[in-house]
Structure formats: structure tokens, C-alpha cells
Amino acid sequence: MEASKVTVDRIDVNVHKGAHPRIGAVDVIPFPPGVGPRRGRVRHAGQGIRETPPGRVGVLVYFYENTALRLDRHHLEVICKSQIEALRQGIVFPERHPDVGEPKLHPTAGSTVIGVRRFLLAFNMNQNSTDIGIAKEIARRIWGSGGGFS
């Protein structure tokens, strides 16, 4: 969790730009099954987030996948789809309130998502083009949410 504190201290999402959906500097903290704490312990850690490095600076938390407290937050892409820009405005609505913390984003670090989840295989690739549409089409075809690999 010390890495979370360093990240919160060094990344300002207000000036960060990118194409990858994100809702905060410490965007996602995943725990694959059998690695790290189990579901109940992750929820307990989230409830006590005010005592952990991200919480000491007021980062709010959403739970996902096997740790989700709400069915509509099971899938990570549902939580992150709005990205931080839309979350800033939507957080006032009860359906966008965090699972831990007040419905107010950290001014520079945003929020974080934490959970016990299935194993994830991810890869990055370089594209020899400035056409972001190509990258989005590749992602759509291979992501589980787009009908690709789950």
C-alpha cells in the first residue's frame, strides 16, 4: 500500500491525459484468487481505508468483481467507463456514490477500485499509426466485454 501513497503524492489526474479509462491515480488494486487477501478481508481493508495510505489522503473506494457490494459494480469496465471527468459530475448521484468514503473525489488523485477478481492477462502493444480508431477496434475485438477473450 505504500506504492499507493507514493502514487497519490506524485500523480495529478487533472493534468494526466490518456486514452485508457481511469478514475484515479491509484486506479485499480486487483487481488487474483489465492493471491493476497480473500474477499472478506479485502472488504474489511476497504472499510478501513482511512487508515491505509490511499485513505490517509482521502481517496474513496469502489469494490468490484468478487468483492462488489452491488451487482451493477461487478465488472470493472462499468465502474471505470465514465472515466474521472464524468465521475466528477456524476458522483453527486446515489448510484455513483463510492462504497467507502464520502461522495467527493480526492482533488488530485480521484478514486480507486479494489477487489478480488479472476486472473487477468493483459498486454500492451505499440501501434505505428496516430489513428486511435485502430487501437480501439483491436481492443474491442479482444476484450471480454466486446465479445473477445474473457
Catalytic annotation present for 97: no
Q: Which of 16, 20, 74, 97 does the annotation list as catalytic?
A: 20
- What structural domains does the chain harbor? 2-119 (3.30.990.10), 123-150 (no CATH)
pLDDT per position as a tens digit, 2-60 = 777 788 888 898 887 766 778 998 888 887 776 655 656 665 655 544 445 455 567 88
Instruction: Give 3-state DSSP helix, strand, coil % of the chain, rounded to 5.
Output: 40, 10, 45
- Residue 50: per-residue pLDDT: 40
pLDDT per position as a tens digit, 52-103 = 545 556 788 898 888 888 999 988 888 887 788 888 899 999 999 998 888 9
The DSSP letter of residue 20 is S
